[in-house]
Amino acid sequence: MNTKLVESLIQVILSLSDEERSLLEERLFFNSSYPSTPEMMELAHRSKAFDFLYDEPDLYTLEDGEAI
């Protein structure tokens, strides 16, 4: 194991700004093989997969339910 390299990396990471650390975390821990939430929303919108809901009757109004 290269302990000296690990210690050097820790020092570099500790010297990063908050913005740089966030970018590093995103690159290390974010699995980009999956689409993001905005990408999924755009896909659903463009595919018109939920357009059938426009033909559904409005079952509820703002007056339904209990006040919070």
Each residue's pLDDT expressed in tens, for the chain with a length of 68 residues: 999 999 999 999 999 999 999 999 988 887 777 888 999 999 999 998 899 998 988 888 888 888 77
Output the pLDDT for position 51. 92
Output the pLDDT for position 61. 85
Tokens of 13: 């990471």
Distance CA 28, CA 38 (A): 21
Tally of CA atoms within 13 A in the half-sphere of 53 that contains its CB: 6
The full DSSP string for the chain is: --HHHHHHHHHHHHHS-HHHHHHHHHHHH--TTSPPHHHHHHHHHHHTTTGGGGGS-----TTSS---
Output the pLDDT for position 19. 95
